[in-house]
Structure 1
Amino acid sequence: MARILAIDFGTKRTGIAVTDELQIIASGLTTVETKDLFAFLKEYVSNESVELFVIGEPKRLNNEASESEVAIKPFIDKLTKTFPDIPFTRVDERFTSKMAFQTMIDSGLTKKQRKNKALVDEISATIILQSYLYSR
């Protein structure tokens, strides 16, 4: 089986999470500068078999798309052109940053460690991926 790769897209940084090859466990992989995202994805996909991209879908409480969606649409267009053989799906990412921060507190990270926004993005991607795994 191939891995599933989740993306918590941001204009500055993007969190990445992946499953194991059996698609049972979601694990944070890394956070990359968004400007380097496609270079990272090309390298990763050349070394690992990826069956699906799961992309966070930011929504407002009233279920409308958030303003972040404006930046995500061009990213998805480029992703589908760059990796035409790998499909993608979207997962509601409301509250993932808050859940990630709470996870950091529950894990006993210090206040200084919790200010690491890259770690928040990586944990958020993991939560997005875990949500997808639960839903299927």
Structure 2
Amino acid sequence: MDAIHLEDLSFFAYHGLYDEEARLGQRFHVDLTCWLDLSAAGESDEYEQTVCYATLVKAVEDTVTNTRFKLIERLATAVCTAVFETDPRIQKTKVRIHKPGAPLPIPTGKVSVEMTRERPE
């Protein structure tokens, strides 16, 4: 299956367990892959035959910035749902949420959650 990749989308939001995260906010980075058949777009060179990248970015942005979640696992699930609602041609999606400012008990480190979902029947 073909894929569209959007990488390192950056959004400022207020997700997390702690009051400071809700009050101060932080940057989140999102990588997104959408699997679908792109053969018609590849043959026709017609815009209508593909998924609009800007529409996908807007769906991710709305999800990340307009609802607060305690867990990035829940945020990733919500992004997957939003992607499927964006275009019925998308059959599978993978989202990785990076939380570079995650409160860790060590001076350095990175946290991310990745989920892969297939379109619900």
Question: Does the TM-score normalized on the shorter chain lie above 0.5?
Answer: no
- Relative to total residues, which structure has the larger strand share, 1 or 2? 2
Task: Please give the TM-score of this superposition, normalised by the length of structure 2.
Answer: 0.30
The structure whose RCO (Cα within 8 Å, separation 6+) is larger is 1
- Relative to total residues, which structure has the larger helix share, 1 or 2? 1
Name which one, 1 or 2, has greater alpha-carbon Rg: 2
